[in-house]
């Protein structure tokens, strides 16, 4: 039987007890990160969010970051708002097509 690092049921059977203050999390940091990412993806999926990867010029990223910092929001929120407004403009002005 293989043991997964994330296995919560049998982790205490295969780990030696260490002296000192107990760790707050029984997993190694890389395993914690993997679990946290999985949980975050699940939360995003439950909110109806989808991941999207886009390559953009560094100057545009700098502008996005500056705008987001100036308005106390995240880069994702700026992009989401921008795309939403762009589609509103398209719907209001049927003459503009790509």
Task: Name 42's Cβ contacts closer than 8 Å, sequence gap at least 6.
Answer: none
**pTM confidence score:** 0.57
| Contact yes or no for 14/3 (Cβ under 8 A) | yes
Q: What is the pLDDT of residues 8-54, one digit of tens each?
A: 656 566 667 667 766 788 888 899 999 999 999 999 999 999 888 99
pLDDT confidence band for 2 (50 / 70 / 90): low
Tell me whether residue 32 is in a domain: yes
Q: Which residues form the domain of 65?
A: 26-92
Residue 65 has pLDDT above 80, yes or no: yes
Helices (H), the chain: 11-14, 29-46, 58-70, 75-92
The CATH number given to whatever domain includes residue 69 is 1.10.1220
| Contact yes or no for 62/69 (Cβ under 8 A) | no
């Amino acid at each position: 039987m293989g043991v997964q690092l994330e296995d919560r049921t049998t982790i205490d059977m295969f780990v030696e007890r260490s002296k000192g203050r107990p760790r707050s999390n029984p997993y190694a940091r890389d395993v914690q990160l993997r679990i946290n990412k999985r949980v975050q993806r699940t939360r995003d999926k439950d909110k109806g969010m989808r991941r999207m990867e886009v390559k953009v010029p560094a100057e545009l990223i700098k502008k996005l970051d500056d705008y987001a910092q100036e308005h106390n929001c995240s880069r994702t929120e700026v992009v989401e708002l921008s795309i939403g407004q762009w589609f509103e403009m398209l719907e209001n002005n049927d003459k503009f097509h790509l």
